[in-house]
Structures are given as C-alpha cells and as structure tokens.
Amino acid sequence: APESLMQALEDLDYLAALDNDGNLSEFGIIMSEFPLDPQLSKSILASCEFECVDEMLTIAAMVTAPNCFLHAPPGTEEIALTCWRKFSHPAGDHFTLINVFNAFKEASANSASQYYSNEKWCRDYFLSCSALRMAETIRAELVEIMKRIELPISEPDFGSKENILSIKKSLLSGYFMHIARDVDGSGNYLMLTHRQVAQLHPFSSYYNTRRIPEWVLFHEFSISEDNSIRVVSEISPDLFVELVPQYYFSNLPPSESKDILQEAINHLSPVSTMKEEQK
C-alpha cells in the first residue's frame, strides 16, 4: 500500500539511510549489506562505535531466527517458566536471548563428548533446537559480512555494566521508533509513535513479574496476538533523548510521555544540547 511505502521511506530517513535526494546515503549503502531489517542493521553499525559488536550480532541472530521458546505442553507451563528463568537477565529480553544463545553454545560444546546431546538439553529447557541452530547459522553469516566489509568485531564483554549500557545505546540507535511507556503501572504500554496500547508478550522475562519497567524498547509489535510487544528491554528517558534524532522527536504526536522526555532534554547540560543541535 502507498501508506506503508511512505512509512518505510520515512523510517529510512530517520535512520539516516537516505540522502537529501531520497537515494541511499553512504550509511544506507553499508546498512543494505546486511539481510536484515533496517533498524537491526543500524543497531549493528552503532555497536561498532559502542564496542559491543559481539553481543549485538548474537541479538540480531536470535531475533531474526524463529522464536526459541517452545509452547509448553498443558500442565508443564510452570516447569518451563522455571527453566527459562535460569536465562533471565534483569536488563531485559534482548540480554536474556544472549544468555540462551551462550548456554546453547556451551551445551553444544559439551555434547561433542556424546554424553548429553544438545537436542536433549533443548528439550529439558523447553527450547527449540532448530531455532537455536538457525540463530547460529545467521550469526556466522553476519560475522562473514562484517569481515567482508571490514568492520571491527569487538571482543566479547557480556555482563559488564559498560557493556550493558553500550548494548542499550546500540539498540536505541536503531529502534528509537520502537519505544513504549507503561502509562498506568499495570503493563499497559502506550507506544510513542503509533499511540497504540500493547501488553507484554507472555514469553517476555518481565511477564508476570512484580517489577514491570516504565519505559521499554521493543523489537516488534504484533497486532494479531492481543496487541503484544515482543522482545522488550528497559531503557531510561535520559538514554533515549541522548540518542534519538531531534527531528524524529519533534514530529512525535503530543502526549504525556513526550512531555516527560522533553523534561529530560531540558535537564541535559548546555554542552549536550549544543551537540544535539549540531547533529
């Protein structure tokens, strides 16, 4: 439809993938080397700057592959949740996916000795072995693309405070259009861009927990599954306003959430504000 085409072009413009004539910019050409959504390509390129490429490639592979969490058979839901909690990361679902992938790699290495196959390991944890193998393949392809276009791949540093912040910055660089705020403290997330309300998907590590984050970045919005947002991680308003393009923020419809973010911008130091204006 013409509307969705216009929306796609507008999104590419916000991601700095187009030049003033509407052609792919130099940055857009590099983004197009990756067989991924533009937002994900942008996040990978940003991770070169923030030195968390290793982790960002894992996230990209995991969100591109099919969902790795299996629907638990009736009566085993609680067992499945207990298994998945072992991988849960307080920073959010993107980080939980890294834990799952790393655990799968470790299980695969152990299964080389034949005493415990990675298929059995996946079954025991209610995970899809085929989805995780697909993620492995996708990640290897992304590494090859990075090498071919001579982009740096940082050393793994998952878990350090700096690394967590760097991953969030990389994700925000690509997914600043995928931000939602819990407007009433009960998990009703209002999306900044489309003004639609959504709930957390049941596979989210925040689902049915006491601490629901107020501000989140989400990977995708599914209208068919009761308006749910999938693969969700907590962000702060300060981090959002640090990385959001000013012209995108200006075009957001008026809302209480926008007012809160404007407050965060106002509290930025004059130096930060000057830098923002120069962008």
**Mean pLDDT across the stretch 164-177?**
98
Q: 92 forms bridges with which residues in the sheet? A: 233
C-alpha–C-alpha distance, residues 184 and 96, integer Å: 26
- Which pLDDT value is given to residue 239? 96
C-alpha–C-alpha distance, residues 218 and 207, integer Å: 14
C-alpha–C-alpha distance, residues 63 and 217, integer Å: 14
In this predicted model, what pLDDT tens digit does every residue of 73-88 receive, in sequence order?
999 989 999 999 999 9
Question: In angstroms, how far is CA 29 from the centroid of its own chain?
Answer: 22
- Ranges 32-41, 54-63, 138-147, 180-189: which has the least confidence: 180-189
C-alpha–C-alpha distance, residues 21 and 25, integer Å: 9
Residues above pLDDT 70, as percent of the chain: 93
Are the CB atoms for 110 and 102 separated by under 8 Å?
no
Comparing CA positions, the residue from 86, 87, 79 lying closest to residue 62 is 87
Domain ranges of the chain: 33-175, 177-279
- Which pLDDT value is given to residue 270? 52
Around Cβ 48, how many Cβ atoms within 10 Å? 16
Q: 222 forms bridges with which residues in the sheet? A: 228
Residue 180 vs residue 203, higher pLDDT: 180
Are the CB atoms for 245 and 12 separated by under 8 Å?
no
Extract the tokens encoding 132. Answer: 């995780």
C-alpha–C-alpha distance, residues 151 and 145, integer Å: 9
Residue 145's pLDDT band (cuts 50, 70, 90): very high
Residue recorded with tokens 């834990």: 99
Residue 139 vs residue 227, higher pLDDT: 139
- Which pLDDT value is given to residue 268? 74
Q: Which residues contact 189 (CB under 8 A, 6 or more apart)?
A: 180, 181, 182, 183, 197, 198, 199, 200, 216, 218, 229
Residues above pLDDT 90, as percent of the chain: 73
Residue 279's pLDDT band (cuts 50, 70, 90): very low
Q: 234 forms bridges with which residues in the sheet? A: 216
- Which pLDDT value is given to residue 62? 99
Q: 182 forms bridges with which residues in the sheet? A: 189
- Which pLDDT value is given to residue 60? 99
- Which pLDDT value is given to residue 273? 45
Across all residues in the chain, what is the average pLDDT?
91
The three-state secondary structure class of 16 is: coil
272 has a pLDDT exceeding 50: no
110 has a pLDDT exceeding 80: no
Residue 33's pLDDT band (cuts 50, 70, 90): very high
Residue 278's pLDDT band (cuts 50, 70, 90): very low
**Mean pLDDT across the stretch 236-245?**
94
**Mean pLDDT across the stretch 198-226?**
87
- Which pLDDT value is given to residue 160? 94
Residue recorded with tokens 């940082």: 154
- Which pLDDT value is given to residue 115? 58
The three-state secondary structure class of 69 is: strand
DSSP state of 23: S
Comparing CA positions, the residue from 111, 86, 19, 94 lying closest to residue 60 is 94
The three-state secondary structure class of 201 is: coil
64 has a pLDDT exceeding 50: yes
